[in-house]
Structure 1
Amino acid sequence: MRHPVVIIGRGRGLAPFLTMITIMAVVTLALAIILFPQPVFQAALRGLRAWWEIVVPALLPFFIISQLFMGLGIVHFLGVLLEPVMRPLFNVPGSGAFVMAMGYTSGSPISAMLTAQLRQQRLVTRHEGERLIAFTNNASPLFMLGAVAVGMLHNPALGPILAGAHYGANLCLGLLFRFYGRRGPASPPVNYPLLTLPRRAWRAMLQAQQKDGRPLGQLLGDAASHSFQTLITIGGFIILFSVIIQVADMLGLLELLARPLLYAGHPFSISPATARALAGGLFEMTMGAKFASEVAAPLGEKLTGISLIMGWAGLSILGQVAAMISKTDLRLGPFIVARLLHGFLAAILVQVFQGPAWPVLSRLAGNGFFPPPVSWLTLGMYYTGFTITLVSCLLVLTGLGLFARLLLYRRF
């Protein structure tokens, strides 16, 4: 009779080994919580504060608006209207423009949640969904311009450099990933004449509302309920990984992880202190960026480390994305590869922006092409103007959806 472990190992490959590693990690975490209750409690409290004071007010309005967009058929409207733009550039249907807009303005993991819903509604194929998640996952602009540039680095002028490198790297990923799975099945393209697109888009929105059929009151209630449930899941991940970072620091695991990261970071001239910050960023983006901003290193090295961490996003974001797509056939592997590429591309671009390209950027800023945020007040004015413009566009589209629903049902 053969040994059962050998049979399992042959049938499942690395599955038993990974299961054993997972069990050991969970048991170690549980023992650390029991043995070190005070620092673990403080770490959990830091994660809870970050979730309640930053994540909830930043993401909850966007989550509710996105659910209303789905229910009112506005996603279908944008899908038809923006098909001629999204399909040639990124090889995704026009509905991906909605995911891209929300992902670039509100931050992760909203793009994964919306892509999973598009996949469940059969608006995107599996490859298109994986392609879409790969280049729409971003740190929020408020986090980069406010929390990192102002709160951590105490220099608002660094915000556009970090944001430009971060978004630029993700757009490059979108152009690169358009070739991923291109031989697989694709969603039916919209081949309407350009002049008829608005009428076709309006008709697609009305058909989507008829198919949904929920009254407006139920739609609002479902949007608020689903959004807060999603935020509770995100909060659980943030608190858990805050505790994991604390335990890893107490057990010396951050120092152990920093050694291979130091070797991998030689092209970017990363010091041991920055490598340790990157080790923290492997788990959670916010704490890793804070560690990187506090190291005794040149400013260029700090920006490189922060860009790497924000591009990778951390295991916390990976866990949140895995939870969002768990009910679909979307795979996590392409997303992980995209995050690795995003980190390295952002690190390269941030060096270009603060090095060879800085004279050009500063000249453009001096000529009025780019407004330089020289103070917190100026930064707040620019961000407030951007937010007002975005919210105005969202309100106009939501009003169109409500008007269409009124025409359909003659009641609210």
Structure 2
Amino acid sequence: MLRYMLHPVTLVSAGALALTLLLASFPQASLTAAIRGISIWWEVLFPALFPFFVISELLLGFGIVHFFGTLLDPMMRPLFRIPGSGGFVMTMGFVAGYPIGARLTAQLYEQKLIGRVEGERLVALTTSSDPIFLIGAVAVGFFHNAALVPVLASAHYGGSILIGLLMRFHGRSEQAPSPASTASGQPRLTAALTAMHRARLADGRPLGQLLSDAIAAALRLMMVVGGLVVFFSVMMEGMTSAGAIPILATLVQTVFALIGLPEALSPAVINGLFEVTLGVKTAASGSALLMHQTAIAAWVLSWGGLSVHAQVVSLLSRTGMRYKPFLLARFIHGFIATLLVYALWGWMGPSM
């Protein structure tokens, strides 16, 4: 009996039923939360992500991934046990932020440029906040302190690199690595250009069709992202109205009391558990020391929020890549980023 009660289908069904009851019990609050979620999607996420989605599709069609795959293979394989094409994904992921890394990883898997385990390593490495959000929204917009950028960026992106190095040990015995890029006796740059040219010829689509396909694919993905943002916004509002969030906050406060962190920051952890923007905004508005507030903000950025997790799962759902390694990587990333803030604060933190 217990096995059936804990089955994923049973748990998801129970969660959907509970959410339906919350919607019926608090219709006005749910509507307000849905409107707020749509506003975040349209005013923040759409203009920030849509251009990168289109550009990434175009670059794939032009063979840029194959260029990077040949050029960066000697670096990416020894460090991260990922093919050189992962260097392109890592660059785009760090520049554009989540969920670009997961999107490109799924595309590389579909094109058979990486294997399943390599894809799991890559998506764990490349899921991070974009610098514009970290600098403009978090440090300047929420904290009103640009001096936080060095320590916050070092903790977040340094944690990403450490996760990549740790993930190289993931699945070592599960799957043989994909074939290494070969230069065939040519200089590395020449071989990379040749690989790009061959990939472009193999794609074969004219520029007009390539651009049209890129825009259509980006719009489909943006609709998925927007739907998930609205869903989690409504879910959080329903849980707050039902009194579930204060219960979770009490549990977090108990943990904070044990490890010596300010209990006043527990709402930031609860909000960040579900959604990044709300979590870092709550951390910035707290009443604790700036060092503690920054550490919690780094945890929220590195954890990503269940909203981002759901976006990544939706992108990887057709690839066979597993969610568990990604979940573990995000948990460890949040822990590492928090520790890095405390370790680097005396050196890189703002002077008080």
Counterpart-to-counterpart distance in 2, 1:191 and 1:68: 25
**Which of 320, 342, 352 is the aligned partner of 1:351?**
342
**Which of 291, 295, 305 is the aligned partner of 2:296?**
305
Q: Which has the higher contact order (CA 8 A, sep 6+)?
A: 2
Asked if 1:154 is matched to 2:140, the reply is no
Could you list the runs of 5+ residues in structure 1 that have no partner in the other structure? 363-412
**Which of 142, 145, 148 is the aligned partner of 2:135?**
145
CA contact 1:268–1:304 (8 Å) conserved in 2:
no
Counterpart-to-counterpart distance in 2, 1:302 and 1:194: 54
**Which of 298, 304, 327 is the aligned partner of 1:336?**
327
**Which of 96, 117, 123 is the aligned partner of 1:106?**
96
Counterpart-to-counterpart distance in 2, 1:313 and 1:105: 16
CA contact 1:68–1:223 (8 Å) conserved in 2:
yes
**Which of 55, 60, 72 is the aligned partner of 1:70?**
60
Superposition deviation, residue 186 in structure 1: 0.2
Distance 1:194 1:51, change over 3 A: farther
The match for 1:39 is 29
Counterpart-to-counterpart distance in 2, 1:341 and 1:264: 17
Please identify, of 201-210 and 21-30, the stretch whose mean Cα deviation from structure 2 is larger.
21-30
Distance 1:42 1:100, change over 3 A: same
**Which of 85, 88, 96 is the aligned partner of 2:78?**
88
**Which of 270, 294, 315 is the aligned partner of 1:324?**
315
Distance 1:285 1:268, change over 3 A: farther
The match for 1:57 is 47
Distance 1:36 1:13, change over 3 A: closer
Counterpart-to-counterpart distance in 2, 1:188 and 1:209: 20
Please identify, of 131-140 and 25-34, the stretch whose mean Cα deviation from structure 2 is larger.
25-34
Asked if 1:133 is matched to 2:150, the reply is no
Q: SS of the counterpart of 2:58?
A: helix
Question: Between Structure 1 and Structure 2, how many residues are aligned?
Answer: 350
Counterpart-to-counterpart distance in 1, 2:193 and 2:101: 24
Q: SS of the counterpart of 1:82?
A: helix
CA contact 1:146–1:159 (8 Å) conserved in 2:
no
Q: SS of the counterpart of 2:187?
A: helix
Superposition deviation, residue 280 in structure 1: 1.5
CA contact 1:72–1:208 (8 Å) conserved in 2:
yes
Asked if 1:235 is matched to 2:226, the reply is yes
Superposition deviation, residue 245 in structure 1: 1.2
| 1:154-194 C-alpha deviation (Å, 9 max, x unpaired) | 11111232111100001011111111122331011124378
Please identify, of 300-309 and 27-36, the stretch whose mean Cα deviation from structure 2 is larger.
27-36
Q: Which amino acid aligns with 1:22?
A: V
The match for 1:365 is none
CA contact 2:150–2:348 (8 Å) conserved in 1:
no
Q: Which amino acid aligns with 2:324?
A: G
Superposition deviation, residue 214 in structure 1: 1.1
Please identify, of 58-67 and 34-43, the stretch whose mean Cα deviation from structure 2 is larger.
34-43
The match for 1:187 is 178
Distance 1:203 1:261, change over 3 A: same
What TM-score results when the alignment is normalised by the length of structure 2?
0.94
Counterpart-to-counterpart distance in 2, 1:13 and 1:118: 37
Distance 1:196 1:240, change over 3 A: same
Superposition deviation, residue 195 in structure 1: 6.0
The two structures, once aligned, show a CA RMSD in angstroms of: 2.0
Q: SS of the counterpart of 1:122?
A: coil
CA contact 1:352–1:358 (8 Å) conserved in 2:
no
CA contact 2:274–2:306 (8 Å) conserved in 1:
yes
The match for 1:258 is 249
**Which of 251, 269, 280 is the aligned partner of 2:271?**
280
The match for 1:171 is 161
The match for 2:202 is 211
| 1:41-64 C-alpha deviation (Å, 9 max, x unpaired) | 221121111111111111111111
The match for 1:408 is none
Counterpart-to-counterpart distance in 1, 2:313 and 2:103: 10
Asked if 1:226 is matched to 2:217, the reply is yes
Counterpart-to-counterpart distance in 1, 2:186 and 2:258: 51
Superposition deviation, residue 25 in structure 1: 2.1
Superposition deviation, residue 222 in structure 1: 0.3
CA contact 1:270–1:301 (8 Å) conserved in 2:
yes
Q: SS of the counterpart of 2:322?
A: coil
Counterpart-to-counterpart distance in 1, 2:123 and 2:256: 26
